Amino acid sequence: MSFAEYADYDGLGLAELVKKGDVTPLELADAAIERAERHNGTLNAIVYEAYDEARAAAKGKLPDGPFKGVPFLIKDLGTEVKGWPRTSGSKFVSNIVDDRDSLLVSRFREAGTVLFGKTNTPEYGITGTTESRLLGPCRNPWNPNHISGGSSGGAASAVGAGILPLAHASDGLGSIRIPAACCGLVGMKITRDRNPQGPGDFDRAIGFSVDHVVSRTVRDSAAMLDATGYPEPASPYAPPPKERPYMEEITKSPGKLKIAWSSETPGGKPIDPEIQSALE
């Protein structure tokens, strides 16, 4: 495969190439790293690089999951990766290095992904844009003069730039959906605890905050949730069981649907006419 074609594939597409022997996980890791080195100086999407570790993992035996060999990034907000720093975008906790993987990271690894770094986030993920005194601003891959959204702005910027096809993200009040909208990606806030982080994280943000991915295709989002979204032992908030795999769900017609929307603002002030026109 020509590496010029790398960004034309979604995660499942790259994994299929690995399965057929057309490419190796190491070649995919090198392709992702090459793109990161080409674009990240402008975007500031990746704030921790684990390139040597990724290459070593790609050379080794990977789990036979749906994303075997696919490069993957973790958002630098609360999520533990063994041996990696965890800053949550704040100088107050910038010296933390984790001694274990979170449960969700373990599941990402079991899905076959090759982790090669962490992505930018605002301090403690609070804002809908991604900039902090510690990590600096993250830029939009379509136009670096624009924001990438937040708080998963680094993840969305990296995926939108074609550095990788999907990346870990989290959402409390729009932190997956806002950057997905800004960067032209698929982003869905899932049911509470559908993706668990582990017994030490049962009540994060009183259950408002959830973890999943931003991706370029719906099927990648569905397949990753199939791989990671199963009950955690002893969870006090286990989500309702799903009726069928999400990969099967996305093939079913939803029937006729109606979409409601509003241009009203919380304070009642009219929005700019140009924005109103674009919304309509």
Provide the annotated active-site residues: 75, 151, 175
Structure-token pair, residue 48:
């921790």
> What order do you get walking across the sheet with 114-119 strand by strand?
46-49, 114-119, 71-75
Instruction: Supply angle C-alpha 219, 215, 240, rounded to 5.
Output: 60
d(CA 169, CA 132): 17
CA pair distance 139, 183, nearest whole angstrom: 10
Token pair 């301090």 in the structure block, residue = 123
User: Can you spell out the DSSP letters for 174-210?
Assistant: STTHHHHHHHT-EE-PPPTTSS---GGGTTGGGGT-E
- DSSP 3-state assignment of 170? strand
List of residues 6+ apart from 219 with CB closer than 8 A: 10, 12, 247, 250
3-state secondary structure of 117: strand
Q: How far apart are CA 29 and CA 34, in angstroms?
A: 9
Helix axes 25-43, 51-59, angle to 10 degrees: 160
